[in-house]
Amino acid sequence: MTYKISVFKDRQGRDGWNERYMPWWINFLEAYNLVQLGDDRINDSLAEWNCSNIAGSDYIEFISEVDSTLFLLRFS
């Protein structure tokens, strides 16, 4: 079973909310120097955590609950 987690805290909508990333996602991007890089580099780094970026989606997907938990603990 796979586990999907959204990388956004909230999204822009009619009520004017801003698109904001989850703090742990920002920590991950900064730890791997991925802030200004494309999806290919992100996927390479996520693969180390048994995870992948879902193209055209706000989610990342882990192979197991244990992998997602370890990832979130590490970058929270």
Which pLDDT tens digit goes with each residue over 44-72? 899 999 999 988 888 999 999 999 999 99
Which pLDDT tens digit goes with each residue over 6-45? 988 876 656 655 667 899 999 999 999 887 766 678 888 9
In this prediction, residue 19 carries a pLDDT of 65
In this prediction, residue 17 carries a pLDDT of 58
Q: Where are the domains of the chain?
A: 3-75
Nearest residue to 47 via CA among 36, 25, 63: 63
> Do the Cβ atoms of 21 and 7 come closer than 8 Å?
yes
